[in-house]
Structures are given as structure tokens and as C-alpha cells.
Structure 1
């Protein structure tokens, strides 16, 4: 009888440990949940691009990145994998779809576009400005007055 109770307790402890271990291993890999992971993945895909700011969507599945030279980047989570895009001038179309929503269409990756909802209106406006800046990234770098900087 004692052996039966001991075996049942060991099996129960093993199942509990397995569930906790599995959950702990999956949490860091939850795509879009960790901005640090997004920065690392984008850095692997585009090592020459410096990231200035990161904004995630409300569901955490998409990350928009503002880059150092006026360009923008986008990362979509597909399970445990990301697809990274460097948004080239003239390859994106943005339209407002509500106070916290944007409809974004990518010319070079049409399947990645869609309706994106952000945490608040400020983030949606910021991302739309990044996309607008990615249309002509060279202008801001050429003339400080264009960027709103005093001369």
C-alpha cells in the first residue's frame, strides 16, 4: 500500500512539474509579447538598422519599429516565428479605420497587411506618422528645417 501511494505521488509531482516547465518555456517565445525579443529578431534580419522606438499592437502579434534614418520596420508573429519587413519608400498605404485602428497595405507583402488595433490613439497616430516618414526618408536627413529643428 505504501508503494502505491508513493508511486501515485511521484506521478502527480511529475505531471505538475511538466506543466510548469512547458508553460515557462513557451512564455518567452510567445510571439509579439516581448519587445526585447522583437528587437533581437529584427536585428538578426536587418543588422545594419538601428531601432529608435518600438510600438506593439493591442493583441501583441505585430510590432512596428521606427528606425534611425526615418525608415520604418514591421514584424508579424506567426506562431513562434516572426516575419520582418523593412518598409521601403512608396511600398505602404495607410488609412485610418477608427480612433485606435489603422488599415495598412504593403505593396511588396500584401498578405501581411490588414487592420491593426493599438492600445491608444497616440500609438496609432505615431505609427501612421512613421509610415508617412517612410515614404521619403531622405528629406528629414537632408534638411533640419524639414524635421522641425531650428537652424
Structure 2
């Protein structure tokens, strides 16, 4: 169940649809109270989530982690800003890339690795509508080719 990447909890499929992902980084998360229990349960949502570099630190905004049901009155705020843990070289790289026009830092996946919650963040450049349509056409063509190959193998 746990391979080199760990146990995947959630994936942001919309990010690869909306952005050309050029580089990825693995980051740890600073969590509060019962957040890790909600993450292990899979109660997270990446919709509209993004990362921003502020004062030499990277923060994840708009990621929703649902409150833990068995928690008490000290449950966390679901949409709070969370700090990402990265090496200084990686943060400097992100600062340089994010200063360029059109680049955004988006979360791609969340997984548990060695008992710790990790987020795979990607640096992406926004796609135009015609780029999105082109990507969709390529995926559909690849799917049809794979289906035809499977059917020809069954017929033999």
C-alpha cells in the first residue's frame, strides 16, 4: 500500500487541465490539532487552492480540510492558510519563478509519506481555452488507440 510516494489521499485533476506544469516540489505541511486525522480520512478539497511566497516562506491558501467529526471545540478553521515546509534552495527557486508573469504555484497531490502529510506542488503557466481543447483531443485520441489495441489483442 505504501510505495516510494506514499499513500495518496487526494489529487487535483483540475490543475493539470488548467495549467502547463513545468516543475514540481514535495513540501511538508504545518498542521494544527485534528487536521491530520481529517487528511487521513480524505476530507480535503483542492478547489481554488494556490500557494504564495510571502517573506521567504511559502503558504498554501484556500485548501479546505474538513473539521474532524470526533473533534471537540478546538477544531481547526477549514480554510485557514497553511505554511509549507521546503528547503531554502527550493523557496528561492519558487520566488524566482513566481515573479515571472503568468506563473502560478498550485497543489497537485496530497499523500502520506512515512506518517507525515506531504503536498506535491507544481509551478504552472495558465492554459488558454484552445490549449485545453487541444489537450482534451489528444487524451481522447490516446484513449481510442488504447481501446483499439486492447480489442485487437482480445480478438487474437
Interval of TM-score (by shorter of Structure 1 and Structure 2): 0.3 to 0.5
TM-score (norm 2): 0.34
Using CA pairs under 8 Å that are at least 6 residues apart, name the structure with larger relative contact order, 1 or 2.
2
Compare CA radii of gyration and give the structure with the larger one.
1
Structure 1 or 2: larger strand share? Answer: 2
Structure 1 or 2: larger helix share? Answer: 1
